[in-house]
Amino acid sequence: MPGQVVKIRPVENVKVIAREHHTEMFFHFLGIFNEFALVVACIFFFEFMPIKIYITGIFMWIIGCLVGVVVSCYHMWEYMAARTRYKGEVRHEMVELVLYMFSHLTFVIGCVLFLPWFYKTQTELMVGHAMGTWCWIWGSVALVIAGHWNAIGFIEVATKLPQCRRTVLIRRFASVALTCTAVGAALFMAGSFLFRPGFKNQCESPEAFIRIKAAAEGRMNKSPFSYMVQPDLLADSFLGNLRHLRARPEPRSKAKSSTLSGRHSPLQKKQHSIEPDGDAIDNRMGEEVEGDPGDYKLNPFCVSIIEQGTLLYLIGCVAFLTHSILSTACSVLLHRIRLEDAQVAYADAYRRSSSKLKGDVEDLIAGKGPQSMSQPALATQVVD
């Protein structure tokens, strides 16, 4: 998640290590490394990963969010220094930075609530996961609002930049970075809602099979090419190999309950498949459900809600990684512009001082006396 705004204004470098510009680049590359670590952590959240890898991913998220807080604090420091130097000419960035910091802190709390060591009963586990998910939701809302304010401020500053090749490239990079921020924040919000426990899914019910097959047949009957394909054959190929999935489900009394130490433990499968009273609900990934022995089960169509949420988080982290890379590129280009401006200013000052010194020497030789310097100073410069 980003810990800084996309800015195209002059940066007031705050010296922390070595030189000022080195400090700025250090925090930029720290942000890139942090976003890459969050991408890896999202991969660790998938259900095919062992429980130890899953917990490692949670700790990587906690550390990454804390690093994001540190990066946000540095950019707050830099913003206040720039605000003091330019005396109100710099736009307000504190709102975005505070929102980014709030987002990181709420994600830290949510990740801590997802650790399995704090819960002894299924009810506590479900309540803790629900609270952690809501922390992620509100953190995602903060990301969306921060990206919106950042875009408004970007438009305000972009109109003040001079027109040249590098500034046009900077504006393009910054625009793409803002787009990545908006996309990542939206995906985080959608993925956070998918992590909420207690979603009821009727995917495996016999009625769902009938509805899907009927819809497939209805589409084929309306198609102008329906005379070319038999609807039954198309439905069977569309639904996959369902005929071999006939099974006689176990009675409800003999079904295995989902416990903390059982085979379908939510701590191992990361599935929110428990109710407050402790009874297991129908598993969404192909477990047997109540019904007649001849009912079909839609295993090929049943997807894990947690897997889908993790996938959205993974894509969002990739978008935020792109944001960090483009922000670093903007800072490098701005630094080069500052160096070129400084070199041009130095060359102009050198030419002015050289021409003035030459005129004073000519006046001294002509016996008119120096016009712009004292005799000791002139003698010193002539000797040098």
Please write the tens of the pLDDT for every residue from 223-257. 333 333 343 433 343 334 333 333 334 443 433 33
Answer for the pair 91, 133: CB distance below 8 angstroms, yes or no: no
Of the candidate ranges 105-114, 302-311, 369-378, the one whose mean pLDDT is the lowest: 369-378
Instruction: Pull the structure tokens for residue 195.
Output: 């992590």
Interatomic CA distance for residues 103 and 141, integer angstroms: 8
> Among all chains, which residue has been given the structure tokens 């990587």?
60
279 DSSP 8-state letter: P
What pLDDT score was predicted for residue 308? 84
What is the pLDDT at residue 219? 41
pTM of the model: 0.60
Q: Is the pLDDT of residue 207 over 70?
A: no
Instruction: Tell me the pLDDT tens digit for each residue of 56-101.
Output: 888 898 898 898 888 888 888 877 777 776 655 556 777 888 888 8
Q: How many CB atoms lie within 10 A of CB 53?
A: 14
CB 282 within 8 A of CB 276: no
Q: What pLDDT score does 305 carry?
A: 78
The closest of 293, 308, 351 to 201, measured between CA atoms, is 308
pLDDT value at 46 more than 60: yes
Highest mean pLDDT among 18-32, 71-85, 270-284: 71-85
66/357 Cα distance (integer angstroms): 57
Which pLDDT score, from 0 to 100, does residue 49 have? 83
**Cβ within 8 Å of residue 213, ≥6 positions away:** 235, 239
CA 113/CA 91 separation, integer angstroms: 37
Measured distance CA(57)–CA(160) in Å, rounded: 43
Q: Is the pLDDT of residue 383 over 50?
A: no
Burial class (CB within 10 angstroms; exposed 0-12, middle 13-18, buried 19+) of 54: buried
266 vs 112, higher pLDDT: 112
Give 24's pLDDT tier (boundaries 50, 70, 90).
confident
Nearest to 287 by CA among 261, 262, 250: 250
The confidence score (pLDDT) of residue 302 equals 66
Q: Is the pLDDT of residue 363 over 70?
A: no
Is residue 315 very low, low, confident or very high in pLDDT (cuts 50, 70, 90)? Answer: very high
**What is the spatial distance between Cα 192 and Cα 140, in angstroms, rounded to a whole number?**
8
Q: Where are the alpha helices (DSSP H) in the chain?
A: 20-44, 51-86, 94-113, 122-158, 165-194, 206-222, 231-239, 266-269, 305-365, 375-383
Across residues 5-26, what is the average pLDDT?
A: 60
Q: Which residue has the higher pLDDT, 290 or 47?
A: 47
pLDDT for the residue 225: 38
Q: Quick one: pLDDT at residue 361?
A: 55
Q: Tell me what pLDDT residue 265 has.
A: 41
pLDDT at 192: 86
Q: In the predicted model, what is the mean pLDDT of the chain?
A: 67
Length of the chain: 384
The DSSP annotation for 223-284 comes to: STTGGGS-HHHHHHHHH-S-GGG---PPPGGGSPP--TTSTT-HHHH----B-TTSPBPPPS
Name the band, by pLDDT with cuts 50, 70 and 90, for residue 23.
Answer: confident
- The model's pLDDT over 134-190, given as tens digits with 9 standing for 90+, comes to 999 999 999 889 888 888 877 776 666 666 677 778 888 888 888 888 899 899 988
Which among 74, 70, 144, 135 is positioned nearest to 106, based on CA atoms?
135
Residue 262 pLDDT more than 60? no
Residue 217 in this model has a pLDDT that exceeds 60: no
Question: Has residue 327 got a pLDDT over 60?
Answer: yes
Cα distance between residue 109 and residue 128, in whole Å: 11
- Residue 106: predicted pLDDT: 92
Q: Which helix (H) or strand (E) holds 270?
A: none
